[in-house]
Amino acid sequence: MPLDVTAPVTLPGYLIEIDFAPPRYYSTRGLQTWASQTWVSGAWIFSGQQLALPGGDPAMVQLILSQGVVGRVVRVWTFYGNTATDTNTELTFAGVCDGAPSLIGDIRLTLFDRAMAVMFAPRQRFRPELGFSVLPQKNFRIEWNGTTIVFKDQPK
């Protein structure tokens, strides 16, 4: 019998939760049942601040395009061995997805572990093209949560 077949597993396995509607649960070690969830086999690669799915997956691309991915909660657990258990599984990453820079070929999701910074970063602009046809008058001030927001003319 070859030695690599009988050797203990030394590389970690990952359980990956992406908070789509409904949440998706993936395992890099095949089908798993852990924490009252079924984790389906997925070829995801976790590298700290990025999740990659080599070769892509049309169903995942459709999910990302239809539901969006920015701001979605992502959690990754690490375990050693072939099966995840309560004693060998540790939460490795808890944060949000900050974007999907690649959906052609490999799917790559950029992760951000400081969720509050992402939640407060401006992501939308208020312009007539985006459906905002009535804006407050120039230099209109709004006090909100200790911050003053001043509406100014858009540079031409």
The pLDDT tens digits for 3-40 are 445 556 678 999 999 999 999 999 999 999 999 999 99
Cα separation, 150 vs 135, in Å, equals: 12
Residue 109's closest CA among 57, 152, 41? 57
Q: What is the pLDDT averaged over residues 129-133?
A: 57
Q: Tell me how far apart the alpha carbons of residues 101 and 152 are, in angstroms, rounded to a whole number.
A: 32
Q: Could you read off the pLDDT of 107-121 as tens digits, one per residue? A: 999 998 764 454 555
Which value, in Å, is the radius of gyration of the alpha carbons in the chain? 21
Write down the pTM of the prediction: 0.69
Between the alpha carbon of residue 5 and those of residues 1, 29, 43, 78, 147, the distances in Å are: 7, 15, 20, 22, 60
**Rounded-to-integer distance, Cα 31 and Cα 41, Å:** 5
Contact indicator for 76, 92 with CB cutoff of 8 Å: yes
Element (H, E) at 38: strand 37-41
d(CA 106, CA 125): 30
- DSSP letter assigned to residue 42: -
Segment 77-109, tens digit of pLDDT: 999 999 999 999 999 999 989 889 888 889 999
Position 44: which residue type?
A: W
Kindly state the average pLDDT of the residues 121-136.
Answer: 55
Residue 71 pLDDT > 70, yes or no?
Answer: yes
* Mean pLDDT value across the chain: 82
